[in-house]
Chains A and B, each alone.
Chain A
Amino acid sequence: MAVKCVVWDLDNTVWDGILLEDPEVRLRPHVVHLLRTLDERGILHSIASRNDHDLAMARLRELGLDDYFLYPQINWNSKADSIARIAQDLNLALDAFAFVDDQPFEREEVAFSHAGVLCLDSALLDDLLDRPEFNPRFITGDSRLRRRMYQADFRRNREEADYVGPKEEFLATLGMVFTIAPCREQDLQRAEELTVRTHQLNTTGYTYSYEELDALRQSPRHELLIASLEDRHGAYGKIGLSLIERDEGVWTVKLLLMSCRVMSKGVGTILIHHLLRRAKAAGVRLRAELVDTGRNRQMLITYRFAGFKEIARTGEVALLENDYSALQPPPPYVELRLLD
């Protein structure tokens, strides 16, 4: 199972010695290298330490490491509880976690409560970077940004919780920029990842390999578009993908998907309405395939409310066509950018 987050103990794990006995504790060798390398692979870090919270955070700041750790749990609670809390805050399953501690007791307690957590002795980390669990299949631009995205999400969620007023007004404060661009070679790994990982906001559920997407990207009959979103808190990364098949007089949307991470941002109809405007301007009909996967009703609603109607059905694949009666500009709280 791929590890998505490593939870670190502090005393005698991140640093040598015990902070409450020695305020000048020194980092253990290789810890910074491990933190940085895993971070670049898109693996997150957090902390479960029984310590004084303010002292420990101050020392981490002095050592220049505080920024690496998301939702650090520095308290006197059980570490199993702390890890459960982190999993909840990051919205990750427990079997995507590793836990590093020098104390056998702590490792056993965590392993007992959470069988899926990979528990590691902090004295035995030499081969950590080579272990398969710590080597994701792809390392994309979005992987390297993953921690920043979580940090930005944390700030957004806090602001939204404090915001009094309609959701649209809050969205307008974010200054969102939605960019649609042709999928480039360096986007292909992320594009494949999106087809494999996106279920709810996916019109057909078709998955494509890296090689297939690379061929489609260069095919004169096809257009492969990738969408990204950013706001004043930072980037959300590449969050949308669409594949269009262009024939004489008719374009067919084979795939349209949006990452669930942006579901609450009101940007779910921008891509399809962009395609509608483009097809209308090109003087062609726009059709779309839709497969009911049992999880993607939202995309049926998106298509139907954009003016698509079913015109044919082959097995589980419904073919829809648009009559251009319901064109909509992008919502006022988003700036749309188009790249060639």
Chain B
Amino acid sequence: MDGMDATQIKIKEFLSRFFKSHDLQPDEDIFALGFVNSLLAMQLVAFVEKEFGIQVEDADLDLDNFRSIRAISSLVARKTGAPAPA
């Protein structure tokens, strides 16, 4: 997990439960990979809210906010006011 911060590592660990055999990279598009079924979609939003203590508003429910590990960590950073990851 070189080059990932703590938030990104947690996101990767969560996503890895759904596709164990794939070593997901920070910028890989999980939608383009076909990994996002209805179960993952439901649990991903719930995970982000619970793990990072944020409220995902309707306006945040954008594909671009959930497309990759980096996109999700950027969303978390914006919602928590932390500096955006590199």
Contact = CB atoms under 8 A, between A and B. Distances in A.
A76 B45 CA distance: 46
Contacts of A166: 17-20
Contact of A307 (B41, B45, B63): B63
B42 A301 contact: yes
Given A168-B18, A305-B41, A305-B66, 9 more contacts: A168-B19, A266-B38, A266-B40, A267-B37, A298-B38, A300-B58, A301-B41, A304-B63, A309-B62
Nearest to A258: B38
Contact of B41 (A168, A302, A309): A302
Interface of A: 165-168, 264, 266-269, 292, 298, 300-302, 304-305, 307, 309, 325-326, 328-329, 331-332
A264 B38 CA distance: 9
A301 B62 CA distance: 9
Nearest to B62: A304
A331 to B, nearest CB: 5
Give the size range of B's interface with the partner. 10 to 19
A262 B34 CA distance: 20
- Residue from B37, B38, B58 having most chain A Cβ neighbours under 10 A: B38
Given A264-B39, A300-B58, A301-B41, A332 B63 contact: no
A228 B46 CA distance: 28
Given A307-B63, A326-B31, A332-B34, A269 B41 contact: yes
Contacts of B66: 305
Contacts of B17: 166
B61 interface: yes
Contacts of A300: 58, 61
B34 A331 contact: yes
B63 A268 contact: no
Contact of A167 (B18, B42, B45, B62): B18
A302 B38 contact: yes
